[in-house]
């Protein structure tokens, strides 16, 4: 399983090195809403998952800060903040690798072994002319072996991203 995530990380880095320059008009601050299948790979403690994220407009070199919260139907929650990179391929295709640490509680769900958990994710989205997006993402959450127990979990999500200003 680790080989798969190392491959995804290398692929994300490859996209970063090979991607064309960002679109001329940078995207504004965004809100992302996701519905996901928690534990989509191992399937030993599956649940429905919902996430909301705030994605900043400002870039620091290649990275944009973001943060949010995730909750599952069995009471797990993950509050997090990290960095992402928006890679634009033409006007409409956006690939967004991201990494973040966060605080996790398992509720009545899967015990991930630690209160500190890290999420790595790759998202592929279609960007509409109004800058909103719809996409699919795959992520992996684990404690990176900082605890004795580290089962990890994967989620497959459908995400809708909308410019923050359009909501208020």
Q: How many residues does the chain have?
A: 168
Position 168 scores a pLDDT of: 77
Q: Which pLDDT tens digit goes with each residue over 138-148?
A: 999 999 999 99
Rounded to two decimals, what is the model's pTM?
0.84
Q: Rounded distance, CA 112 to CA 44, Å?
A: 12
Mean pLDDT of 3-16: 52
Higher pLDDT, 27 or 2: 27
Q: Is 77 exposed, middle or buried (0-12, 13-18, 19+ CB in 10 A)?
A: middle
Q: Rounded distance, CA 131 to CA 28, Å?
A: 8
Position 41 scores a pLDDT of: 94
Token pair for 161: 């991203």
What separation in angstroms does the CA of 27 have from each of 62, 115, 152? 13, 33, 32
% of the chain residues with pLDDT over 90: 80
Q: Name the average pLDDT for the chain.
A: 89
Q: Which pLDDT tens digit goes with each residue over 57-103?
A: 999 999 999 999 999 999 999 999 999 999 999 999 999 999 999 99
DSSP result, 85-151: --EEETTTEEEEEEEEEEEEE-TTS---S-SEEEEEEEEEEEEPTTS-EEEEEEEEEE-TTSSS---
Q: Is 2 exposed, middle or buried (0-12, 13-18, 19+ CB in 10 A)?
A: exposed
Q: Which pLDDT tens digit goes with each residue over 95-117?
A: 999 999 999 999 999 999 999 99
Q: Rounded distance, CA 122 to CA 60, Å?
A: 19
Q: Which pLDDT tens digit goes with each residue over 21-59?
A: 444 457 899 999 999 999 999 998 999 999 999 999 999
pLDDT band at 166 (very low <50, low <70, confident <90, very high): confident
User: Are the beta carbons of 84 and 75 closer than 8 angstroms?
Assistant: no
Domains along the chain with CATH numbers: 2-167 (2.40.160.20)
């Amino acid at each position: 399983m680790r080989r798969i995530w190392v491959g995804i990380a290398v692929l994300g880095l490859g996209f970063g090195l090979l991607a064309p320059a960002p679109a001329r008009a940078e995207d504004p601050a965004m809100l992302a809403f996701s519905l996901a299948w928690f534990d989509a790979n191992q399937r030993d403690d599956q649940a429905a998952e919902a996430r909301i994220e705030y994605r900043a407009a400002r870039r620091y070199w290649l990275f944009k800060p973001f943060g949010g919260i995730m909750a599952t139907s069995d009471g797990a929650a993950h509050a997090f903040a990290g960095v992402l990179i928006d890679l634009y391929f033409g006007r409409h295709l956006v690939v967004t690798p991201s990494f973040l640490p966060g605080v996790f509680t398992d509720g009545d769900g899967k015990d991930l072994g630690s209160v500190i958990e890290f999420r790595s994710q790759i998202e592929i989205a279609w960007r509409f002319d109004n800058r909103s997006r719809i996409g699919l993402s795959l992520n992996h959450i684990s404690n990176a072996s900082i605890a004795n127990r580290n089962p990890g979990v994967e989620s497959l999500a459908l995400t809708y991203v909308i410019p923050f200003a359009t909501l208020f």
